[in-house]
Chain A
C-alpha cells in the first residue's frame, strides 16, 4: 500500500473534526453575545486551528483554508481587532460552512464549495 495513501483515514478525520466542532458550537453563541469572552475565543481558535491542520493533511485544501481564515479572524479579535456584527456573522457562517464541508466529504468524498465564506472572511478589516 502506498504509505502516503490517506483514504483509510477519512473516517478518523470526520470523527475528530466533528468532535472539535461540537466543542466550538456552544462557544460560537457565547462569542456572538460577547466577542471579548476569552474562553470562547480560545476554544474557537483551537478548534479552527486543529481542523485546519487535519483537513490540509487529508488534502482538503479549501476546507483547510476556511478553517485558517476563521482561526486568524478570531485570533485577531482576541488581540484587539474590532468585532463588528458583520465579522461575527461571517465567523458563525464560516463554521456552518465548515460543518457542511465535512458532511459533504463524508457523503460524497469531496469538499463543499466554501469560497464565498473564505472571501467574506478575507474581506474583513484587520
Chain B
C-alpha cells in the first residue's frame, strides 16, 4: 500500500517515512504542496498524510486544488500537523480531509490504526 507523505520538515518526513516503511507501507514523500501535486499528477497513492502549514503551497491549498478535480481517483487524506485548533481541523475536513492527527503528540500506533481504518489492508 502506497502512502504519500507531505511535510516541509525533513525530520518529520524521514521519521514517519521510516516508521511507516517498517510497518510494511511503501512511502513516497513531498516537501510542500507543489511537489505533492506533481507527485499526484503521475500516480495516486492509497492514502496521503498532509501537513497543513508549509511554504510555497500549504495543505489547505492542496485540498482546494484536489477538490477542483472531482472526477479523479479519490484517496483518503489525513491531515497531519501540530495545529490542534478545532476550527483548523474542521476547515480541513470541510475541504476534503477525512481525519486529523497531531504529529507531535501522536502515538504511532494510533496513526497506523487510522490509516488501516480508511484504507483496506492489502497483503501487509
Contacts and interface: CB of A to CB of B under 8 A. Distances in A.
Q: Do A and B form a real pair?
A: yes
A42 B30 CA distance: 21
Contacts of B112: 3
Contacts of A9: 15, 18
B15 to A, nearest CB: 6
A13 interface: yes
Contacts of A13: 11
B109 A53 contact: no
B9 A4 contact: no
A4 B15 contact: no
Contact of B9 (A3, A50, A56, A64): A50
B55 to A, nearest CB: 8
Nearest to A8: B18
Contacts of B19: 3
B11 A16 contact: yes
- Main SS at interface, chain A: helix
Interface stretch (B35-43, B100-108, B114-122): B100-108
A54 B108 contact: no
Contact of B15 (A12, A17, A52): A12
B21 to A, nearest CB: 12
Given A3-B19, A53-B82, A16 B107 contact: no
B105 A56 contact: yes
Given A16-B14, A54-B9, A57-B103, 16 more contacts: A3-B108, A3-B112, A9-B18, A13-B11, A16-B10, A19-B10, A46-B55, A49-B53, A49-B82, A50-B9, A50-B11, A53-B82, A53-B104, A56-B104, A57-B15, A57-B104
Interface of B: 9-12, 14-15, 18-19, 22-23, 53, 55, 82, 103-105, 107-109, 112
19 contacts: A3-B22, A3-B23, A4-B107, A4-B109, A9-B15, A12-B15, A16-B9, A16-B10, A17-B11, A19-B10, A49-B82, A50-B9, A52-B82, A53-B9, A54-B11, A56-B104, A56-B105, A57-B12, A64-B104
Interface of A: 3-4, 9, 12-13, 16-17, 19, 46, 49-50, 52-54, 56-57, 64
